[in-house]
């Protein structure tokens, strides 16, 4: 009995998702130099079939970015990041972004490759950069708000943001070059949150106390 149009559409969507999932893994491992042949092999389909769904690997880039952006967060996940005290919102946001790096390292590996590749499509790099800038801006605003009410450690907010970005960048680098070690000892979000907790003595104050 022939398949219905609805069944054919479901089959096409599953195959498209299969190719995208494979492409994510391949791009994360090999970067933008990965070929359509590598993607087809990872997806266990022929190149001809891969080209029936995507005209080029650049088109797959766009599809992957669109899928990530459209994925979004549920209302239950967004609520803790948009309401409550600054410290609570910062903790919720960082918990989410650190956990995402644990659950989906391949997406951040892809981001890492694309942003560092001058040959990558300009529009794609712009989308990725805009996503990063939005995150940085949100974190900085929460830091400033928290500092104003004493919930977050004092100091240059831009330095605090940069320390956080270096930490997250390090997780992505480790997921590329030492995945087994990272999986075995993935740091809890509480470790990075210590940077933002108030009450730590400044370096000068510590030195003065030690010299007494």
Q: Given this model, what pLDDT does residue 148 score?
A: 96
Running DSSP on this structure, what letter comes out for residue 10? H
pTM above 0.85, yes or no: no
**Distance (Å) of CA 81 to CA 26, 85, 96, 119, 151:** 32, 10, 9, 35, 16
Find the angle CA(62)-CA(29)-CA(25) to the nearest 5 degrees. 55
Tell me what percent of the chain is helix, strand and coil, each rounded to the nearest 5.
80, 0, 20
pLDDT in tens, the chain (212 residues): 677 878 878 888 999 999 999 988 888 777 767 889 999 999 999 999 999 999 988 788 777 776 766 555 555 555 666 678 999 999 999 998 899 899 888 778 877 777 777 767 777 777 777 878 888 898 999 999 999 999 999 999 999 999 999 999 999 889 888 989 999 999 999 999 999 998 754 445 444 444 54
> Domains in the chain, start-ordered, CATH in brackets?
5-68 (1.10.10.60), 73-199 (1.10.357.10)
């Amino acid at each position: 009995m022939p398949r219905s149009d609805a069944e054919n559409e479901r089959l096409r969507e599953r195959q498209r998702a299969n190719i995208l999932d494979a492409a994510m893994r391949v791009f994360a491992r090999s970067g933008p130099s990965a070929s359509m042949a590598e993607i087809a092999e990872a997806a266990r389909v022929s190149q001809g079939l891969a080209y029936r769904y995507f005209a080029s690997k650049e088109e797959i880039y766009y599809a992957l970015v669109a899928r990530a952006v459209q994925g979004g967060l549920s209302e239950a996940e967004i609520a803790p990041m948009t309401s409550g005290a600054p410290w609570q919102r910062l903790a919720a946001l960082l918990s989410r972004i650190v956990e995402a790096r644990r659950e989906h390292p391949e997406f951040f590996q892809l981001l890492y490759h694309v942003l560092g590749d001058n040959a990558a499509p300009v529009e794609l790099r712009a989308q990725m950069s805009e996503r990063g800038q939005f995150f940085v801006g949100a974190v900085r605003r929460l830091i400033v708000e928290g500092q104003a009410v004493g919930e977050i450690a004092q100091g240059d907010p831009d330095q605090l943001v940069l320390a956080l970005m270096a930490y997250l960048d390090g997780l992505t680098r480790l997921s590329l070059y030492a995945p087994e070690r990272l999986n075995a000892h993935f740091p809890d979000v509480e470790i990075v949150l210590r940077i933002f907790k108030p009450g730590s003595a400044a370096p000068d104050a510590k030195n003065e106390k030690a010299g007494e």
